[in-house]
Amino acid sequence: MPLTLHGIGTAVPTQRLSQAEAVEVAHRINAESPDQAKLMARIYQKTKVLNRGSVLLGNDADHATSQKRLSFYGPDSPGTAERMQAFDDHAGWLALEAVREALDDSGLPPSTITHLVTVSCTGFQSPGVDLFLMDKLGLSAAVQRTHIGFMGCHGALNGLRVAHAYAEMDPNAVVLLCAVELCSLHMSYGWHPEQVVANALFADGAAAVVGSAGPPSSDRNLVLQSSGSMVIPDSADLMHWEIGDHGFSMGLSPLVPETVGSVLQPWLQDWLQNRAVDLSEIRSWAVHPGGPRILSTCAEALALDTKLLEESRVVLQDHGNMSSATILFILERLRQRSVAGPCLALAFGPGLSAEVALLDLHHAA
C-alpha cells in the first residue's frame, strides 16, 4: 500500500548569512593563523553554499557586522546546555511554520491528524517539538507520536518509512511528518579540518509532509512506493556525529564520497530489480547534497546527466545542508516542476549508511 504525500511545507529562518559573512564568522572562530584565514575563503567557496539561514541571527536592518548579528558565537565557545536552550527557544516555531504550510497544501485540517513523526539530530528536549506542535495546532491528545533522533542527513527518509508503516497498518491514518534541524547551533571552534568543513556546509531549516494511504487527490501529489537501507561495510569511522561539551561535533572524512560511490550502482540496481524497476527507468532524482562532491560522485557512479541533480544543487546553494530536512526541500522543488517519475530519493549518514525511497511523480487522474 503506497503512501500519498498530500502536502509538503518548508521553512527557513528569516535572517540569513551570505557566503562572505559566513567566511567572516569562520575567520573569527576557526582560523588560528593568517594562512588558515586565507584558506577559509577557498573552503567556503568550494561548498557552493551562497546563503544560509540561522535562528541565531539578529536583525540585519542596520547592516550590522556578522559578529554583531551572530553574537551567540563570542570569544568563548558556548556550552552544550546553552546551545540546547537555543534549540528549545527556536526549533518548535520553525517546525510550526513548515507544518502549517504542509497542512494548507494538503487541504486537510489539523483535526484529521492521527500520527505525528518528528525528526531531528540537532537538539534534544522533553517535552519536545512533537508536543509543541500538538499544542499549537490543537491536535488530538490521542495522536500517536514517534521521534526519530540523531540519524543525520537521511533522517527524513526514515521518517517517511515510519509514516508509510502507519498508513499500511491503518488505512484511515493521516500522518504528519516534520523534520527540523538547527545546525547553526553546533558551529565548532578552532582549526579542526573536518569540523571546519561541516561549519561551511550546514544551516537551519524545517520541512513537513502530510501523508496517508488514500489515493492522490491532486495533480501535485507524490506517492511513496517503497524504501530501503544499506550500511556500507567497514566505513563506520568515516562519518560521526557526537555530543561534546561545546555542542555536537561532526567528523567528516574526505573519503566519504568515493566510499559511497564504490557501492552505489550495484546496490541500487539490485534493490530496484527486486521491485521490478530498472535503474535506467528512473527519470528524476532527489539526492541529498551532503556536499558538492557527493553530488558529483553520485552522478559519476550512476552515469547520470548532471542536469538530473540540478534541484539538489540549487537547494544546497540557496539554503546550505539542512541535514534531514534537505531531502524534503528537493522533493518539493521536483513536485513544483512537475517532473515525471519514477523518482529516487537518496541520502547518506553516519554508518556509513544510505537510505533510498522510490516515489511516483505521475499526476493523479
Alpha carbon distances (Å) from 14 to 21, 46, 169, 347: 16, 25, 39, 26
ω into 352 cis (within 30 of 0): yes
Clarify whether 121 is annotated catalytic. Answer: no
> Among 285, 94, 317, which Cα is nearest to 201's?
317
Taking the C-alpha atoms of residue 113 and residue 116, their distance in angstroms, rounded to an integer, is 7
> What's the half-sphere exposure (Cβ side, CA atoms, 13 Å) at 284?
23
Return all residues near 344 (Cβ < 8 A) that are at least 6 apart: 268, 282, 284, 285, 286, 356, 357, 358, 359
Q: Which three cell numbers stand for residue 351?
A: 554508518
Catalytic residue among 121, 153, 178, 298: 153
> Among 244, 256, 230, which Cα is nearest to 356's?
230
The residues carrying an active-site annotation are: 153
